[in-house]
Chains A and B, each alone.
Chain A
Amino acid sequence: MPIAIKAENISKAYQLGEIGTGTLSRDLERWVARIRGKEDPFLKIGETNDRTKKGSSDIVWSLKDINFEIEQGDAVGIIGRNGAGKSTLLKVLSRVTSPTTGRITGKGRIASLLEVGTGFHPELTGRENIYLNGAILGMRKREIARKFDEIVDFAGVERYIDTPVKRYSSGMYVRLAFAVAAHLESEILIVDEVLAVGDAEFQQKCLGKMGEVSKGEGRTVLFVSHNMGSISSICNRGVLLKKGMISEVGQINTVINEYNKQMLRTDNSELENSNEEVALRKIEIKNTEGEYLVSNCKCIAEIEIYSKKYIEDVVVGVGFNDNMNTRILTIFSKHFGKYYKINPGINILRCEIEQLPLKPSKYFTEVYVGTAYEQISHYNCGLNIEVLEVKNQDMPDHTQGYIVVKQNWN
């Protein structure tokens, strides 16, 4: 497959605090350095973007030495913690802002959806907004006209097409905006985490459309999300960012696993230096009677928590989400009246589950740690678990619900 996007040594520096060097003399100094072809005296290379530490200069590298290649037709998931540089990378790729150093080359037009409905004007009708939005995304009028019916159909707003969008429900608004970006004849589609606004049915539709765009139409998709479920269902490749640098590139499953490993702080020195009082070290869910998780098996959830201090009345919960990020099951110590005392250092909390009521599928866990009154920590996607199918055992399909319980028929 030909290369669609190639990034070489991309870095992006942001200045913290005051914009400009602050004084005219330093502005001049910088300007003199620049026209003499020297490096900016106020840009120090070598500092990474660590929000938790105070840097020695006001410059922060939001992206540093990013290199990757994306093939045409790839669906690439970009993941990382908040502040890892995902959005900055998308902004640079969408040409909204330019990189401080490096070069990106590519082929094909880019339609980017960093926000739903950019450039929509509330007074204009749906029809007018489709044209305006399409043109903002770089399409010619005739191209939009060609796709017009498809867009309206996808968004399901046919009745309201000549109504000003200010009278649209928020759901209709989002549907229309996504439909425009997804249907235009761009070869590269960039989508930031924007789908969270729609309802579940629409999210499913969008994810389906994105999958179709990349697999069916051979277009390249770049997708940022915190929802590992949707990432793994759409993307075949992944880029994991950590503090503005690339931590892993490759097959999406490998990248997600690496991400999960990083979310769990196993490195003790890192834990001690972090400004988080409480951190999740490990979460594991294992079958106590067998090797793999299967429906209705007896299992145990083990949660390792690192704390810097002694805390009373701690409650812990684990949520199991399906790949649409719908919560299927929550186990929560509070519901069963269990409050823990957490000691400085590592604490291991265990929960026995008599019969795991999950159907065979992939699930993504979220871990909640709090006191009786407030949240202390929350971890998204701490662990992906897979409940395996047992041979010769029929399970309810999606029309028959999400869970399965042990049942004795007489």
Chain B
Amino acid sequence: MMGNLLTLIVFLPLLGALILGFVPRSNDSQPKAVAMIATLLPLLFAGILYANFDSGQTGMQFTESHDWIHIAHAFQDKSLVIGYSLGVDGLSMPFLLLTAVVTFLGVLATKHMHRAKEFYIWYLILVTGLYGCFLSLDLFLFFLFLEMTLVPMYFLIGIWGGDRKGQVATKFLIYRGLASVGILVAFVALAYKAAMVTGVMTMDMIAITDAFAKAPADVITSSFKQGIFLVLFLAILIEEAFFPFHTWLPDTHEQAPTSISMVVGGVLMKIGAYVLFRIGVGILPDAVQYFATLIAVIGVINIVYAALVAMVQRDWRRLLAFSAISHMGVVLLGVAAMNQAGLQGGVFMTISSGLLSGLLFFLIGAIKERTGTTIIGALGGLSKPMPILAGFLLVAALGSLGLPGMSGFISEILAFMGAFKAFPVLSAVGTLGIILAAVYLLWAMQRTTYGPTTAQLEGLPDARAVEYVPMVVLVALIILIGVYPSILGDLVNHTISSYVTRIGG
């Protein structure tokens, strides 16, 4: 029964997009309904998979595998096989669930789009791309899905974006296109080296992982691994919007419509982190270990730099973008530690940051819809006209600054528990981010909701019934992870453990 659920999850949104092609252009509510179903069903299926997931196991589950493309004589006299293979393990399960939740809520958060039909078509193609990235077990397939996120994003920003949409959409495309190139180069190199070990040319992730784990040092030299890793890491820095390749992210968030901001901050941006865990730590652990100090330094630079820049932003969306960069710096620090707590903290932080970004961008979108602005200085005293939205903004800001009882804290402390073991001094510098996060988030939150209410903000409507869904769902998940972290920890623990044992050698 579970047989084809993964395929359904991946392609239902695309099917939705196809159906939308036949919906008349004029209708506004039909596209949204189709999009809602096309994202709700995958969410339900993801829930079923989660319920049937065996977290005690380290391998892939619910796998589907078919040979897809044969290229004869690609490697000496053997053919290259590209598989259509999907699967979930403890690492990808949280990403699957995150994608399912955020992409569905993104549809809910979308209202009155002009050219609604086209919007949802691109949106649904994007969603298929996102699912595909986290579920692919074949590097080539992964790459195709990654590319599948690029084009829809270009149009989603370019058509429905803010006043600088064209420029920012192009920037997005160039940056992430470059990252794709790096990823592809690294993938091909991985496949070729693996083929030299096994004699079989394949893009299969598991086979390549095994080949690299077993390969004698003279066949796959450590300098080769380091070389691939550097290319891959550079691509990840762009994908994940790390300094100095981060400038596309604040622009994207500033220009993109609310639901797209939610999906970018919540899911799309996390692909880079996923690649870092899956390919970096999973296939090239010695190279990660070799560059650990470099990774940690970049992590700390991002934590502190992005926090300081966030502090002086005038626009909520840019502030949140820098805040996300700062938080993802903690992921790099945790990964650099290359131990259980650090890696687990890294995954936690990635998921937590996704949920919190989704929530925060939704709230800022709701405030923009009412007040017409996201400029922090133009807001004030919103607690009075809209106590519910203000209350959720408070909760979201607190969650983001790492208040215990919410997902951010346990992520942060796990990552630092790992990081302080490996890099005590760098980690100590990194804790500056904890203080600075409180500074910029409380400032912005207070500037928005506290203080006297100006006349033109008086009497604005509070949250509508439908708006409660994204807010309550996201806050519930954020608190659930914070209060009962095992719900996430038990999923990832075994997979991470298997990575860690490989590092220990």
A binds B: no
